[in-house]
Amino acid sequence: MQETALLSTIPLFNGLSEQQYTSLSRIARELQFERGQTIFSEGDAGKGFFVVANGQVKIYKLSIEGKEQILHVFGPGEPFAEVAVFTGSDYPAHALALKKSKVLFFPRKAFMDLIGANPSLAMNMLASMSLRLKKFANMIEALSLKEVPGRLAAHLLYLRERQNHTDTLQLNLPKGQLASLLGTIPETLSRILAKMTQQGLLLVDGNTITLLDSDGLEDLACGERRL
Amino acid sequence: MQETALLSTIPLFNGLSEQQYTSLSRIARELQFERGQTIFSEGDAGKGFFVVANGQVKIYKLSIEGKEQILHVFGPGEPFAEVAVFTGSDYPAHALALKKSKVLFFPRKAFMDLIGANPSLAMNMLASMSLRLKKFANMIEALSLKEVPGRLAAHLLYLRERQNHTDTLQLNLPKGQLASLLGTIPETLSRILAKMTQQGLLLVDGNTITLLDSDGLEDLACGERRL
DNA sequence: CGCTGCGTTGAGCTTCTTCAACGATCGTGG
DNA sequence: CCACGATCGTTGAAGAAGCTCAACGCAGCG
């Protein structure tokens, strides 16, 4: 597979020895998915977990009426569906490739064995899942305690953080998907972006957003201000 | 401390050797909290994690206006704030004793060392955090995709599950706290319980709830029916 | 007795969703 | 090259769900 190079770029596998990379690459399987293709569905038997090699994958839930709530959007180097490894049960959500993606698959059993033998791998896994939990806690807080403008503002500031504090953001998602990530619908998101623009908080051009008043957004994100 | 007996009743520590219990009890500290007492606040330095020995503890977030969202309610044997151990950062939420409680505290560093040396402890930890993640995912789904009646119905069915499928439930929380756990407010919860009673779905008497039509509740929980 | 915490009920209002229509963009096939 | 459909985003009007505010009942307890 000549994949140890790829594996070494994955944060989850940081600090492993050359030999451990070899063990990993031995159990990994490489999968290709087209844009829009389902990787697994909620309720499927959780046979293992995945790491995005390249492309983009969303993890989401669906309501009976078809409304979608995105839980995560993962890019290169990020693992997903680890939960299935340790609970040994079904996948608790759906996964779908948002772009043409290469994905590494690690079968449950083999990976568990590796973890048992490699404490540092276990520690990495724990750290990764801790961050995930923290993110979920913030998402619950946002959904329950903030209104949509606040959630949007928080998300934009989060993106600015990740893009080196530049005020010109590139959305890595179509707006409709962003709405689903924020727990709302495209119509509402559109209206709120319009209102924010009108108030001079930001500037929208396609999927480029320029933040004009991050302090104002900050206030919104903390619930100290309304639109 | 003569606590190895107590430790052995904690699921997280299942399958550890006698010697490992001793190591654990050596680093554990025993704490007492009165009802209503704060254990830690969001933003406090995360110096370690906890296990409820007896009593009841809630983990929650607060909005600026003072609205509360409960993330967890933990009883005897359940660990909390593990996230702080592995991220090494601040506690991401508040913790408060709902009843007079005895709590074991495990300092971060010492516990990390134990985990590194005990693969089975690491595995237990991973399993525990996986379940936590799954629960959070369901909570996000509920908040975003279900209305309050659906969330309530799901919660009641969950309680029935835990109480051996008996249709007579004892709420382990005051109704106001239950509202906060469901992501709503006491007024709304009260109204919905009234409506459910009126429709013959259940019967309320103080904090005892009798389920009369679990199929109907099931439909509500899945969004296949309205009140 | 009166206080305090908890729960309930009513009226009005805000926010968000639903439904519908329309505009823009893009890729494909004629 | 243009027409067409599909996807995506925007906008308007109406409706529903849940929140706010206020008042009240009721129990436990000093």
Quote the tokens at residue A122.
């276990």
Does pLDDT of B151 surpass 90? yes
The dihedral region occupied by A152, where left means phi > 0, alpha psi between -120 and 50, and beta the remainder, is alpha
Single out the residue of B141, B133, B134 nearest to residue B221, CA to CA: B141
Q: Residue B153: CA atoms inside 13 Å, Cβ hemisphere, count?
A: 26
At B157, the pLDDT band (50, 70, 90 cuts) reads very high
Q: Quick one: pLDDT at residue B163?
A: 92
pLDDT for B80-115, tens place per residue? 999 999 998 999 999 999 999 999 999 999 999 999
The verdict on A134 touching B (C-beta cutoff 8 Å) is: yes
Contact B115 A126 (CB under 8 A): yes
Q: Exposure of A181 by Cβ count < 10 A (0-12 exposed, 13-18 middle, 19+ buried)?
A: buried
Is the C-beta of residue A197 closer than 7 Å to nucleic acid chain D? no
Nucleotide nearest to A182 (CA to C1'): C16
Distance separating alpha carbons of residues B178 and B184, to the nearest angstrom: 9
Distance separating alpha carbons of residues A99 and A122, to the nearest angstrom: 30
Nucleotide nearest to A179 (CA to C1'): D9
- The spacing between the Cα labelled CA in A207 and the C1' in D12, in angstroms, equals 24
Mean pLDDT by 10-residue block, N- to C-terminus, for chain A (227 residues)? 75 88 92 94 96 96 96 97 94 96 95 90 95 97 98 98 95 97 98 97 96 97 92
Looking at chain A from residue 4 to 33, which residues have their Cβ under 8 Å from any Cβ of chain B? none
Residues of B in contact with A142 (CB under 8 A): none
Say yes or no: do domains A2-143 and A146-222 share a fold: no
Whole-model pTM: value is: 0.96
Q: Quick one: pLDDT at residue A87?
A: 93
Residues of A in contact with B127 (CB under 8 A): 86-87
Tell me how many degrees the CA angle A66-A141-B187 measures, rounded to the nearest 5.
85
Q: Quick one: pLDDT at residue B2?
A: 54
Contact B132 A127 (CB under 8 A): no
Average confidence (pLDDT) over B7-16 = 89
Residues of A in contact with B143 (CB under 8 A): 140, 143-144, 183
Tell how strand A68-74 and strand A57-62 pair up.
Answer: antiparallel
SS3 (DSSP) at A15: coil
Distance separating alpha carbons of residues A50 and B112, to the nearest angstrom: 26
At B153, the pLDDT band (50, 70, 90 cuts) reads very high
The verdict on B95 touching A (C-beta cutoff 8 Å) is: no
Distance separating alpha carbons of residues B218 and A204, to the nearest angstrom: 44
Q: Quick one: pLDDT at residue A3?
A: 64
Distance separating alpha carbons of residues A125 and A147, to the nearest angstrom: 33
In CATH, A146-222 is 3.40.50.300: no
Residues of B in contact with A121 (CB under 8 A): none
Domain residue spans in chain A?
Answer: 2-143, 146-222
Contact A64 B125 (CB under 8 A): no
The minimum CA-CA distance between A215 and chain B, rounded to whole Å, is: 17
Looking at chain A from residue 179 to 198, which residues have their Cβ under 8 Å from any Cβ of chain B? 183
The verdict on A66 touching B (C-beta cutoff 8 Å) is: no
- Topology (CATH level 3) of domain B2-143: Jelly Rolls (2.60.120)
SS3 (DSSP) at A226: coil
Is the C-beta of residue A193 closer than 7 Å to nucleic acid chain D? yes
Contact B223 A64 (CB under 8 A): yes
Distance separating alpha carbons of residues B79 and A81, to the nearest angstrom: 23
Q: Which residue of chain A comes nearest to B144, CA vs CA?
A: A183
Strand order in the sheet with B202-205: B168-170, B208-211, B202-205
Q: Residue A65: CA atoms inside 13 Å, Cβ hemisphere, count?
A: 9
Is the C-beta of residue B143 closer than 7 Å to nucleic acid chain D? no
Alpha helices in A90-118 (DSSP H): 108-117
Q: Quick one: pLDDT at residue A15?
A: 83
Contact A146 B63 (CB under 8 A): yes
